Chains A and B, each alone.
Chain A
Amino acid sequence: MTVARFWREIPQRYNLVGTKCEVCGDVFFPPRAICPHCRRDGKIVPCQCSGKGKVLTYSVLSAASDQFSALKPYVLAIIELEEGTRVTSHLICEPEEVHIGMPVKSVFRVLDREGSDGIIHYGTKFVPDL
């Protein structure tokens, strides 16, 4: 990923800044510029998500693309945030630990390194909220 491609989404990736439609109240993370329910009648504003949520579904990945190979096995989960929106994320926990309904919270982590002399991508992952 180029510097610009990552840089332009730093608020979202570092701090879980999504968007909200002030008309219907729906929160979007990943952020959306248009509310899919109200469309042009909606009004989109930024929305800070709390980072707290629960696991809706998950998988333990034993095979991955080259980029994520070093993490194997790792837990991939769809997490529903308190605000009602869902996010796909790496969940940092033991594979035996994860279950549907598990409370989780966001943490700031390294997502990816582009080789030994490339840029380091930081962003949000999740851990169990004990």
Chain B
Amino acid sequence: MREVAVIGAGMTKFGERWDTSFRDLCTEAGIAALEDANVAGEQIDALFVGSMSAGRFVGQEHVGALVADYVGLGGDLHVPATRVEAACASGGLAFRQAVAAVSSGMSDVVIAAGVEKMTDVGDSTDVLAGAADREWESFAGATFPGLYAMIACDYMHKYGLTREQLAQVAVKNHFHGARNPFAHFQNEITQSTVMNSTLVASPLRLFDCSPVSDGAAVVVVCPLEKAREFTDTPIKVLASAQAGDTIALHDRPDFSTMGATVAAGNSAFRQAKLERKDIDFVEVHDCFTIAELCAIEDLGFVPKGTAGKFTEQGETQLGGKLPVNTSGGLKACGHPVGATGIKQIWEVVQQLRGEGGKRQVEGAEIGMTQNVGGTGATVVSHIFGRA
């Protein structure tokens, strides 16, 4: 198995990109990543595209080929392109396929892209509900806010989490988003913004929920030993982990613990031969505020039931013990579902290169990502370090 490095990263601004189509989002992020990596089309061996539901969002399947074609890799170069899907973990999983392709020796320079165009459809709630068990959750009236609200209800009942602590997750992520020029929302908010926002699914309110966004993100990987041919600042992939769980939330023994996050996190730390204290910052899957609290507990950074207090004390904000979601997270940076997993890696690359600007984590050397599909039936986690 060869060691793998990220040699380039690019993303579009996330948001309601009414003027930009699915394919143009991919092109915008792709060009940015290829320029960053200083890679020419002829050098690219393969492309993996993460997209949750292009078929329902824009009526387009076969998006691997579409993206390859419109970034200029299809017609003349015939680069093999593969679409990867694991609901909101599609991006993270596309990256993992790219890492596997390079690590195995099958390919040298590989692109991992993530994209979603969500605002071209009216009932996005129903499209997203396809990430749960359509027959036995969605058809019973479950929505994604509803499912995560049931996690929050269980968590609050068990651990006495306060509404203010939950709101602070969104406040903190907007603070970070306000420092990220690519974020969907670049405004700071207060706890009262969250607590006075409209109820979506009790106890979750509008500002507990990530938005419906358009966007794409792209990274380029190659063998570590060749990385310096392309860049002076390669980022080494220290671990690539994935774990699964039951498709339906109701089949989990503990609704407040994402078993796949625990499993993927443990695997990642084993691979990287690192301990929790070695991680300088983490990008986690805060599709809803409650999910961020569960994530930092299930990855083992804080004991179960204490993430609310940890957040309230400012430890997950820039300058705290463990900055979480410096990109703004899904809440403020936005959540074009297939793109999110790659955007997390893009943010880790910015931080490890010291290019985080106003949101730079001082002395960042090791960063981690956690990308969730559905309510945790797929979790993908990676650890990165400066090479």
Contacts and interface: CB of A to CB of B under 8 A. Distances in A.
Contacts of A102: none
Given A9-B135, A71-B141, A90-B140, A59 B123 contact: no
Contact of B153 (A36, A58, A67): A58
Given A59-B149, A59-B201, A65-B129, A88 B142 contact: yes
Contact of B150 (A58, A67, A74): A58
B250 A87 contact: yes
Contacts of B146: 59, 61, 64, 76
A57 B199 CA distance: 18
Contacts of A36: 246
B271 interface: no
A1 B139 contact: yes
B153 A88 contact: no
A25 interface: no
A74 B140 CA distance: 11
Interface of A: 1, 9, 30, 36, 56-68, 71, 74, 76-78, 86-90, 95, 100, 111-112
Given A59-B150, A59-B153, A90 B250 contact: no
Interface of B: 122-123, 125-126, 129, 133, 135-143, 145-146, 149-154, 157, 198-204, 246, 248-251, 255
Contacts of B126: 65-67
Given A86-B250, A100-B154, 20 more contacts: A1-B139, A30-B136, A56-B154, A57-B255, A59-B201, A62-B199, A64-B146, A65-B129, A65-B138, A65-B143, A68-B143, A71-B141, A76-B150, A76-B201, A88-B248, A90-B140, A95-B202, A111-B139, A111-B140, A112-B139
Contact of B143 (A56, A61, A95, A111): A61
14 contacts: A9-B135, A30-B135, A59-B146, A61-B141, A61-B145, A62-B198, A62-B200, A76-B149, A78-B150, A78-B249, A87-B140, A89-B140, A95-B202, A111-B140
Nearest to B250: A86
B136 A56 contact: no
Nearest to B203: A59
Nearest to B209: A63
A60 B145 CA distance: 10
B353 to A, nearest CB: 40
B368 to A, nearest CB: 29
Contacts of B249: 78, 88
A88 B136 CA distance: 7
Contacts of A56: 154, 255
Contact of A60 (B201, B248, B250): B201
A59 to B, nearest CB: 3
Contacts of B125: 63-65
Among A30, A63, A86, A88, the one with the most B-chain Cβ atoms within 10 Å of its Cβ is A88
B135 A62 contact: no
B24 to A, nearest CB: 28
Among A87, A111, A112, the one with the most B-chain Cβ atoms within 10 Å of its Cβ is A87
Contacts of A89: 140-141
A88 B152 CA distance: 16
Contacts of A57: 150-151, 153-154, 157, 255
Contacts of A76: 140-142, 146, 149-150, 201
Contacts of B152: 59
A63 B143 contact: yes
A78 B255 contact: yes
Contacts of A74: 141
A90 B141 contact: yes
Contacts of A60: 199, 201-202
B367 to A, nearest CB: 33
Contacts of B201: 59-63, 76
Nearest to B149: A59
B257 to A, nearest CB: 13
Nearest to B256: A57
Nearest to A79: B250
Contacts of A66: 122-123, 126
A104 to B, nearest CB: 14
A27 B198 CA distance: 39
Contacts of B157: 57, 100
Nearest to A1: B139
Given A78-B249, A88-B249, A100-B153, A63 B136 contact: no
A71 B146 CA distance: 14
A56 B252 CA distance: 12
Nearest to A78: B250
B221 to A, nearest CB: 35
Contacts of A9: 135
Contacts of A77: 150
